[in-house]
Amino acid sequence: MGGERAPLLEVTGLAKAFGPNPVLRDVSLLVAPASVHALLGENGAGKSTLARVLLGMERADAGAILLGGARYAPASAEEARRAGVVLVPQERTLCAHLTVVDNVVLGIEPLARARLGIRDRSRARAVARAAIALVTADPGRVPLDARAGELGVADQQLVEIARALAQGGLREDGRLAARLLVLDEPTSSLGRSDAARLFERVGALRDAGLAVLLVTHFLSDVRAHADRYTVLRDGRVAGEGDPREIEPAQIVREMLGRALDDTRACADTRASAVPEAARPDGGEVVLEAEGVSGVKRPKRASLTLRRGEILGIAGLVGSGRTELLRILAGLDPRRGGTVALRAPRGIGLLSEDRGGEGLMLGRSLAENVWLSPRAPRFARPRSVLSEGARWIEELAIRACGPEQRAGELSGGNQQKVQIARLLREDFDVLLVDEPTRGIDVASKAQVLALLRDLARAGKAIVLVSSQLDELVTTCDRIAVLRRGTLDPPRPASSWTEASLLLEASS
Ligand SMILES: Nc1ncnc2c1ncn2[C@@H]1O[C@H](COP(=O)(O)OP(=O)(O)OP(=O)(O)O)[C@@H](O)[C@H]1O
């Protein structure tokens, strides 16, 4: 797509270091106009840093960028925005209590009387309407006056894109002024059908002339929706091409610098490796929930969890999966039903909201691993650091050291820090909400294998994931949550990805 046309974006010899640590080294990249260009790489490979340079949020140390043939070195996000380069970040940025209109025009509110700062509400509405029309074939799904927090996650994601496009500028006729849209892991919290809907719109935006830089860990999305790809490894370009012409295994090799041993080893050896005593029907019951309901969702959920098993919960976004976990963990109020926990070492939750409640981004990696309600009130800094160092080693966390601020780590490595804290606590019952979100293929395999090992060692785990293949290959039993009601679980071997999807969306 647009292969012979002059590139929209031309990056040459880009370098960036944080202190003594080089993060981008001699990176060169061409992005064609009206194309979807995927940026791939392991956690910490430098993808976000490259995106941040393009968005004016970091300055490169060396190298040159041309945008539409002109020198481009934005000193701020505002400057990038004016040049038509905009971002949809992985984490949600919408203000839940504001309407769709207010969210879309936030920071670019049209003014009726500039000197008095009086807003032009009808123009704001027109801008929002035009932006929403760009991201959905059915604007009725996203009412302009709805509060963002009332929309489902997939529709919120569309509003995020509309907002980015509006920030990049809309012409009088509602056409795009934005030239490059950076989409950071847009589907990581979406189920398959919502992801397909999102890519359909991304395709339409591409056809309308927009270039999209898609940062993702999903190779299947890259093969299905990207025109070109570039792999970064340790800050260098390690591969590029047309993803449809290259085997996924080759792309994985480019990402890792080696072949991926066997992502599914954990699943394939499952039946034989789990000792009889730890089998789901053999372990003692540690958690029993009967007719549980929450403020909005779930409406009715009953489950029995035994030591040694992983119980998967499948469901569409908005079905109440996270709400159920939060009630079981005692974090959210329960409206009805009973929960009985028989676990001396307690119950722990891996939150899907990594930056919001999972981690203290301003504190060090070691403190994040260490801190918990059970941690001793006084700890020797040396002990905290050595514990941090142990987990860096254990989970292959990519960081300068245990003292590095959690907020400076790449998204996937932040996720590993959260997992490290949960493991360190040694809970009997683990509730894990989207544990592989934002983490690369190799780490994904590692995390899923780790969950299997934990179950084998006698932990009881409830796994919520939007990745249905992950549920099928990792869990012992899977239950589907449909519009707030949990069906009885069935053995994972009786499910396929397709049957789960069908059940969840019926
Ligand atoms: N402000 C910062 N200060 C110090 N180091 C940083 C800073 N920002 C990023 N880094 C480091 O740069 C490296 C690359 O991080 P980056 O976020 O670009 O990776 P990524 O490829 O986007 O990873 P992920 O897939 O996990 O999001 C990481 O080792 C990270 O710790």
The predicted pLDDT at position 38 comes to: 97
The predicted pLDDT at position 15 comes to: 97
Asked if residues 321 and 308 have their Cβ atoms less than 8 Å apart, the reply is no
Beta strands at 236-241 and 301-306: parallel, antiparallel or unpaired: unpaired
Q: Whose CA is nearest to atom 31 of ligand 1?
A: 409
| CA–CA gap between residue 371 and residue 411 (Å, rounded) | 20
The predicted pLDDT at position 281 comes to: 56
The predicted pLDDT at position 262 comes to: 42
| Residues contacting 423, CB < 8 A, separation 6+ | 391, 450, 454
pLDDT category, 282, cuts 50, 70, 90? Answer: low
| Residues contacting 394, CB < 8 A, separation 6+ | 420
Least confident piece of the model among 178-182, 253-257, 322-326: 253-257
Q: Is the CB of 163 under 6 A from ligand 1?
A: no
Highest mean pLDDT among 59-63, 469-473, 494-498: 59-63
DSSP 407-468: GGS-HHHHHHHHHHHHHHHT-SEEEEESTTTT--HHHHHHHHHHHHHHHHTT-EEEEE-S-H
Mean pLDDT over residues 186-210, rounded?
86
Domain ranges of the chain: 1-84+179-258, 94-175, 265-505
| CA–CA gap between residue 392 and residue 414 (Å, rounded) | 11
Q: Is the pLDDT of residue 353 over 90?
A: no
Q: Is the pLDDT of residue 149 over 60?
A: yes
403 C-alpha to center of ligand 1: Å?
15
* Residue 172 burial class via C-beta count within 10 angstroms: exposed 0-12, middle 13-18, buried 19 and up: exposed
Q: Is the pLDDT of residue 461 over 70?
A: yes
* Residue 74 burial class via C-beta count within 10 angstroms: exposed 0-12, middle 13-18, buried 19 and up: buried
Q: Is the CB of 466 under 6 A from ligand 1?
A: no
479 forms beta bridges with 313
Q: Is the CB of 23 under 6 A from ligand 1?
A: yes
380 C-alpha to center of ligand 1: Å?
28
Our measurement of the distance from residue 399's CA atom to the centroid of its chain's CA atoms, rounded to an integer in Å, reads 20
pLDDT category, 103, cuts 50, 70, 90? Answer: very high
Q: Is the pLDDT of residue 278 over 50?
A: no
Q: Whose CA is nearest to atom 25 of ligand 1?
A: 43
> What does the H/E/C string look like for 356-400?
HHHCCCCCEHHHHHHCCCCCCCCCCHHHHHHHHHHHHHHCCCCCC
Residue among 438, 424, 350 at smallest CA distance from 389: 424
- Which position has the higher pLDDT, 281 or 177? 177
Q: Is the CB of 18 under 6 A from ligand 1?
A: yes
The predicted pLDDT at position 380 comes to: 87
- The preferred substitution site among 23, 216, 354, 436 for testing ligand 1, maximizing ligand atoms within 8 Å of CB, is 23
Tokens in use for 335? 């409206």
Least confident piece of the model among 21-25, 268-272, 387-391: 268-272
The predicted pLDDT at position 269 comes to: 33
Tokens in use for 175? 């056409």
The predicted pLDDT at position 272 comes to: 35
Q: Is the CB of 43 under 6 A from ligand 1?
A: yes
The predicted pLDDT at position 12 comes to: 98
Q: Whose CA is nearest to atom 17 of ligand 1?
A: 410
Q: Is the CB of 436 under 6 A from ligand 1?
A: no
Asked if residues 259 and 275 have their Cβ atoms less than 8 Å apart, the reply is no
Q: Is the pLDDT of residue 205 over 60?
A: yes
Beta strands at 310-314 and 301-306: parallel, antiparallel or unpaired: unpaired
Q: Do domains 1-84+179-258 and 265-505 have the same CATH topology?
A: yes
**Cα dihedral value 328, 458, 411, 25, nearest 10:** 180
The predicted pLDDT at position 112 comes to: 66
End-to-end, the C-alpha distance of the chain in Å comes to 37
DSSP 177-188: ---EEEEESTTT
Q: Is the peptide bond before 298 cis (omega within 30 degrees of 0)?
A: yes
Mean pLDDT over residues 458-474, rounded?
92
* Percent above pLDDT 70 for the chain: 92
Considering the domain 1-84+179-258 in this protein, what is its CATH number? Answer: 3.40.50.300
Work out the angle at residue 199's Cα, subtended by the Cα atoms of residues 312 and 109, and round it to the nearest 5 degrees. Answer: 110
Q: Is the CB of 431 under 6 A from ligand 1?
A: no
Domain 265-505 CATH (choose: 3.40.50.720, 3.40.630.30, 3.40.50.300, 3.90.550.10): 3.40.50.300
pLDDT category, 277, cuts 50, 70, 90? Answer: very low
- The preferred substitution site among 16, 18, 25, 447 for testing ligand 1, maximizing ligand atoms within 8 Å of CB, is 18
46 C-alpha to center of ligand 1: Å?
6
Q: Is the pLDDT of residue 1 over 60?
A: no
Residue with tokens 């292959």: 396
Query: What's phi and psi for 433, nearest 5 deg?
Result: -105, 110
Q: Is the pLDDT of residue 175 over 90?
A: no
- H/E stretch holding 220 reads helix 219-225
pLDDT category, 119, cuts 50, 70, 90? Answer: confident
Q: Which atom of ligand 1 is nearest to the CA of 235?
A: 14
| Residues contacting 214, CB < 8 A, separation 6+ | 36, 37, 38, 39, 183, 186, 202, 221, 222, 225, 226
Helix spans in 69-169 (H): 77-82, 100-104, 121-135, 153-168
Q: What is the mean pLDDT of the chain?
A: 87
Query: What's phi and psi for 199, nearest 5 deg?
Result: -70, -30
Mean pLDDT over residues 19-29, rounded?
93
Q: Whose CA is nearest to atom 1 of ligand 1?
A: 408
